[in-house]
Amino acid sequence: MADLLPLFPLSTVVLFPNVFLPLHVFEPRYREMVADALAGDHVIGMVLLRPGWEHDYDGRPPVYLVGCSGVITHFERLNDGRYNIILRGVERFRILGEDHGRSYRRARVDALPETDAGPEDRAIVRALRAKLEALLAPALQPQHAESRSGRAALGAVDLRGAAAMPDPDLVNALAQYLDLEPLEKQALLEQSCLRSRAQALVELLEMKLMMAHTPGLSNTAH
């Protein structure tokens, strides 16, 4: 990553390593950010805005300190200066401090590489992947009432081609693409390793399916 990483803070988007994210960039400060990134290493950092951001959106409202860098793999500059871009997630990072020398935000960051290393971690992630696939498979069968409630709980997800995806890519893609709350996705991103992220995702989906299948539970849970 560059010494100062450009930051693109949004209220609903969390990027994960090696997952693709299409974005439409229209604000002047972030159009400038994209132009500068395209003139350099094509890398920007996605971060999630903290609750209450609405009161200072045009300024520099607080963000969560853990984000994910992304490289611009494709871009289209529109006639009015807006951009359509596609990011591919690269690496998690932690913000150490911000620089205020540009119209957009930039930060000094530390990289946060995944800590999974040994065969035991890989074996556990493989088992958790099987659990994830088992949890999601019924939601893809719309002819059953139970499947419909599961699909509503998890959001639309397409597992075609998933068998060919490496375990890390599948876990991160599900964390990004499933219909989860932004804060739930942020919590998954902040997991220190793929193993803990996969475990947290399994537990989150099990909870959502249980709530979807238990009438009244979602209304009484706090």
- What is the C-alpha separation between 2 and 182, in angstroms, rounded? 26
Residue 1 has pLDDT above 70, yes or no: no
Position 33 scores a pLDDT of 97
What mean pLDDT, rounded, does the chain reach?
86
Q: Name the residue with higher pLDDT: 205 or 136.
A: 205
Residues 183, 15, 125, 194, CA torsion sign: negative
Position 169 scores a pLDDT of 92
Start and end residues for every CATH 2.30.130.40 domain found in the chain: 5-111
Q: What is the mean pLDDT of residues 66-80?
A: 97
What is the pTM assigned to this prediction? 0.86
Residue 187 has pLDDT above 70, yes or no: yes
> How many Cα atoms within 13 Å fall on the side-chain side of residue 95?
23
CA distances from 88 to 4, 16, 22, 196 (A): 19, 9, 9, 22
Position 214 scores a pLDDT of 67
Q: Tokens 């997952």 map to which residue?
A: 19
Position 160 scores a pLDDT of 63
Position 154 scores a pLDDT of 52
pLDDT digits (tens, 9 = 90+) for 111-166: 999 876 688 888 999 999 999 989 888 655 554 444 444 444 455 556 666 778 89
Position 222 scores a pLDDT of 43
Q: What is the mean pLDDT of residues 173-193?
A: 95
3-class SS at 109?
strand
Position 147 scores a pLDDT of 45
Identify the CATH class of 5-111.
mainly beta
Of residues 206, 178, 201, 179, the one with CA closest to residue 189:
201
Residue 85 has pLDDT above 70, yes or no: yes
- Say how many C-beta atoms besides its own lie within 10 A of residue 125's C-beta: 23
Q: Name the residue with higher pLDDT: 89 or 147.
A: 89
pLDDT digits (tens, 9 = 90+) for 4-13: 999 999 999 9
- What is the C-alpha separation between 71 and 37, in angstroms, rounded? 9
